[in-house]
Amino acid sequence: MTRPTGRALRLTVFIGENDTWHHKPLYSEIVHRAHTAGLAGASVFRGIEGFGASSLIHTSRLLSLSEDLPIAVVIVDTEPRVRAFLPQLDELVSEGLVTLEDCEVIRYSGRDDTPGTTDKKGKKSL
């Protein structure tokens, strides 16, 4: 796993909750592949309402449409690492939206990081 700081790319994949890859939720497959690829992290966010290219509104307020809510998978890492991951998304995402945005990582630390110590690469944490 990398620990990006400074300039980075934010990759966002917008899909539906019911989208699958080999009978498994597509969002889960994306997260597991990002982990295997050594990317810094991935998060899945479930929307309460939205629409996409089909113009069909999906909402949690109507029982008949509540089964396929919008999902956003967000990954942030360095530009080379994110761009190297894009071919996997080409394989996985047949319907949806994939975006890239420049961003800046201000702080990236895990629960096991103790302030004032150094990590395995000798980087001092805050």
Q: Extract the runs of DSSP E, i.e. beta strands, from the chain.
A: 6-16, 20-21, 24-25, 42-46, 49-50, 58-59, 70-77, 97-105
Confidence of residue 59 (pLDDT cuts 50, 70, 90): confident
Residue 118 pLDDT > 60, yes or no? no
pLDDT in tens, 60-105: 765 654 568 899 999 999 999 999 999 999 999 999 999 999 999 9
Q: How many CA atoms lie within 13 A of 7 on its CB side?
A: 3
pLDDT at 66: 58
pLDDT in tens, 23-46: 999 999 999 999 999 999 999 999
